[in-house]
Amino acid sequence: MRRVAGINAPGRTDLPVLKPFDLKAVTPDGYIFTRWVANLPSWTPAPILLAALLWPLIASAQTGYTVFDAFDALWRWSTFLVWSGFFFNVLISLFAMAIGTVFGAALGLGQISPNPMLRRAAWFFTQLFRNSPWLVILFIVLLAFPFQVTIFGVTIPIPDWMKGVIGLSLPIMANISEVVRGAVQSVPTAQWEAAESLAFSRRQILWQIILPQCYKRMLPPWMNWYAILTMATPLCTLLGIEEVITLSRQAMESEDNHPELLVPFYGFVLILFFAYCYPIARFTIRLEQKYAVKL
């Protein structure tokens, strides 16, 4: 087969990976998390609710704080937790996804550039952020970024939540970069040759012929990463950002930190994430199966 620079270079693996010992085991694909979520039964919140009910019962045997007290507290806080807490997580995820997609697409195109220097640099940054622990990246961004920047005499503050967004967008960027590279390379080389023989330039081939064939097959992995990102937003609590976990903890503190509150409050947060991510995961897997057959 003929080589198209940057498109079908000889196979180059990511970092070395230990093969699973069980040879018959299914190789985990990029959808492993989303597939797991999508395969959860839709009544998953029920056992969480049950656990939330039972926990205060067990705990109340010692203290006298009843299950009703716990749920009364949760009820009072629930609106606040949803609107000021969970929706802030959603906002963080949307911002991080937007930034990660834009820069990830650029990095992905860099990975298939005909320029070997650019290709190598893009590959390096992709692997760096793809293989670093998200929490480490978050802390580095938090500590390395100034709390404000001054451009042309205008001082722009960078709030902590914005740093959280940037920190989360970096691993997303790296993974979207891989999605773009993979999708472009999955288009048969024959398409490049047909376009080349019609005197299309490389740029035209990429933008007019190859990428339009990729958007559809990039959508499921893109949504997959969005679901993963959303589930990762509670990491921001470690940066002190006032998202749903931070607020839950503060709410429990203001309710005198009764241990009976733990499971109802965190169970509630779990159900919120489930309610948001479950439809996304189901839709992603459906799209993935639909597009998997084609070409």
Binding site for other proteins (CB under 8 A): 2, 190-191, 193-201, 204, 208-209, 212-213, 295
Q: In the bound complex, what is the minimum distance in angstroms from residue 102's beta carbon to other proteins? A: 23
Q: Which is nearer to other proteins, 119 or 217 (CB)?
A: 217
d(CA 218, CA 226): 12
Q: How far is the C-alpha of 275 from the C-alpha of 91, rounded, in Å?
A: 16
Would you list the DSSP string of 17-61? -PPPS-TTSPPP-TTHHHHHHHTS-TTTHHHHHHHHHHHHHHHHH
- 148 bridge partner residues: 157
Nearer to other proteins, 121 or 211 (CB): 211
| Smallest separation (angstroms) from other proteins to the CB of 84 | 44
Give the shortest CB-108-to-other proteins separation in angstroms: 19
C-beta of 187 vs 227, nearer to other proteins: 187
- In the complex with other proteins, which residue's Cβ is closer, 184 or 263? 184
Residue 151 φ then ψ, to 5°: -120, 125
**Integer CA distances (angstroms), 281 to 33, 42, 183, 252, 275, in order:** 9, 12, 20, 31, 11
Quote the least distance from Cβ 208 to other proteins, whole Å. 6
Measured from the CB of residue 183, what is the shortest distance to other proteins in angstroms?
13
What is the CA angle 66-70-75, rounded to 5?
Answer: 140
Quote the CA–CA distance of 34 and 228 in Å, as a whole number: 7
Q: How far is the CB of 196 from other proteins (least distance, A)?
A: 6
Residue holding tokens 């005197």? 199
- Strands 154-157 and 148-151 come out as antiparallel
By beta-carbon proximity to other proteins, the closer residue of 127 and 191 is: 191
Q: Is the Cβ of residue 66 or residue 189 nearer to other proteins in the bound state?
A: 189
The H or E element that residue 79 is part of is helix 67-80
* Of residues 206 and 245, the one with the C-beta less far from other proteins: 206
**In the complex, what is the shortest distance from the CB of residue 195 to other proteins, in angstroms, rounded to a whole number?**
8
Considering the complex, state which of residue 123 and residue 192 has its C-beta at the smaller distance from other proteins. Answer: 192
Report d(CA 9, CA 1) in Å as an integer.
11
Tell me how far, at minimum, the Cβ of 198 lies from other proteins, in Å: 4
Residues contacting residue 49 through CB under 8 Å, at least 6 positions apart: 267, 271
- Separation CA 73–CA 70 (nearest Å): 5
